[in-house]
């Protein structure tokens, strides 16, 4: 048995090296297995009301128009913020709302209104149901006049909503990054 031999350079040293390799390999395999079983960290309450990604809005009609930007949305339908960014990360516009008041910062201009919907329409060129959008992003179907949301891809960070009325038709697409 080589384990009992104690010759210089061989014997117990060779056994301890092979044992070490075996234990290290087994430990690495166990760690990989445990890492594969790990669950993603649950979203905190602040993260649960915060989204970012890409937003695209296409409006059909005589003069079809489309709008797309990166976005950061946080808060709720009652109080929140929407930042629209260019592909290079430059701030295009920021909407802040709460307590029945909304404000739009666009370039050097600042506009205020009692209507968030009016300011959203000013930025995007059409009506977008902000209150329903928050429900949709939480994975809850919300009824809003003229809009139908497809929530089948929300688990993968995809949302598509279509407006059939009032005319013109519009399609809102969102791809979340977090």
What is residue 39's predicted lDDT score, i.e. its pLDDT? 38
**pLDDT at res. 124:** 85
* pLDDT band per the 50, 70, 90 thresholds, residue 29: very low
Sequence-separated (6 or more) residues with CB below 8 Å from residue 74: 49, 50, 51, 80, 81
Residue showing tokens 């013109």: 168
Note the pLDDT tens digit of each residue in 69-81. Answer: 999 999 999 999 9
CATH of 45-176, one of 2.50.20.10, 1.10.645.10, 1.10.10.60, 3.30.70.1400: 2.50.20.10
Q: Which two tokens stand for residue 153?
A: 């891809």
Instruction: Specify the pLDDT at position 178.
Output: 64
pLDDT at residue 46 in the model: 47
How many other CB atoms are there within 10 angstroms of residue 81's CB atom?
Answer: 15
Question: Which stretch of DSSP H or E encloses residue 20?
Answer: helix 12-37
Sign of CA dihedral 55, 60, 63, 64: positive
Measured distance CA(17)–CA(2) in Å, rounded: 13
pLDDT of residue 123: 86
Gap between the Cα atoms of 25 and 29, Å rounded: 6
Q: Put the strands of the sheet holding 80-85 in their side by side order.
A: 109-113, 101-106, 91-98, 80-85, 65-75, 50-59, 170-176, 158-163, 147-150
Task: Kindly report, residue by residue over 125-177, the tens digit of the pLDDT.
Answer: 888 999 999 999 999 999 899 999 999 999 999 999 999 998 889 999 999 99
Average pLDDT over residues 115-119: 93
Length of the chain (residues): 178
Query: pLDDT digit string (tens) for 44-66?
Result: 444 569 999 999 999 997 667 88
* pLDDT value for 65: 84
User: CB-based contacts of 167: which residues, under 8 Å, 6+ apart?
Assistant: 61
Range of 3-7, 97-101, 174-178 with top mean pLDDT: 97-101
| CA proximity to 13, closest of 23, 22, 3 | 3
Specify the domain boundaries for CATH 2.50.20.10 within the chain: 45-176
Full-model pTM: 0.71
């Amino acid at each position: 048995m080589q384990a009992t031999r104690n010759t210089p350079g061989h014997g117990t040293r060779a056994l301890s090296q092979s044992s070490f390799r075996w234990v290290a390999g087994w430990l690495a395999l166990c760690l990989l297995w445990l890492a594969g079983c790990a669950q993603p960290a649950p979203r905190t309450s602040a993260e649960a009301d915060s989204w970012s990604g890409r937003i695209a809005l296409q409006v059909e009609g005589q003069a079809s128009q489309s709008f797309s930007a990166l976005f950061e949305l946080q808060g709720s339908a009652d109080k929140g913020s929407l930042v629209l960014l260019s592909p290079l990360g430059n701030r295009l516009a920021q909407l802040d709302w709460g307590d029945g008041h909304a404000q739009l910062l666009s370039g050097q201009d600042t506009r205020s209104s009692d209507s968030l919907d009016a300011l959203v329409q000013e930025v995007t060129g059409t009506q977008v149901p902000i209150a329903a959008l928050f429900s949709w992003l939480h994975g809850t179907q919300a009824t809003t006049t003229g809009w139908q949301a497809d929530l089948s891809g929300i688990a993968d960070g995809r949302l598509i909503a279509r407006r059939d009325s009032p005319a013109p038709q519009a399609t809102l697409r969102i791809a979340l990054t977090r």
